[in-house]
Amino acid sequence: MRRAPLALVLALVFARSASANPTGLDYAPSAAPEPPDAAGLVLRLAALTAGLLAMCGGVVWFARRAARPANLKGDGGGRLRHEASLPLDRRSAVHLVSADGQTVAVTTDATGLRSSVLLSEPFEPVLEVANAEGEAADG
């Protein structure tokens, strides 16, 4: 029983003496690296930020341009023709559409088509017919 503590003490003394002189291997810390150039870092940060903002602006410009309805020249070759639009707020609008000679007001909102109303014919043809009938009755 006395041998175990004695062996432990001798092992500790031997380990301490071995670590005190590691046979010529001395530790030499490496040199500290040079600090980075602060002006270069700020310049790179500003350039990359400006480039990112320019790229975001380009995406927004392209998205707005792609979302616009195409301006067709002429009547588009069909019987349905878009006459005008009136945006009411961000998501709703009134559109005037000419369909086969009739004018239709179409309302839309975020859910899609809300209503369509056939507008009355212009008064000029009706007045011309009334004047022609009146002149025929007088004459």
At residue 37, the pLDDT reads: 93
At residue 56, the pLDDT reads: 97
Examine the pLDDT at 2 and tell me if it is beyond 90.
Answer: no
- Render the chain in DSSP notation, one character per residue: --HHHHHHHHHHHHHHHHHHS-TT----PPPPPPPPPHHHHHHHHHHHHHHHHHHHHHHHHHHHHHHSPP--STTTTSSEEEEEEEE-SSS-EEEEEEETTEEEEEEEETTEEEEEEEPPPPHHHHHHHHHHHHHHHH-
Average pLDDT over residues 11-25: 63
What is the average pLDDT value for the chain, to the nearest integer? 81
Please write the tens of the pLDDT for every residue from 79-130.
788 888 889 888 899 998 888 778 888 999 989 889 988 887 666 777 788 7
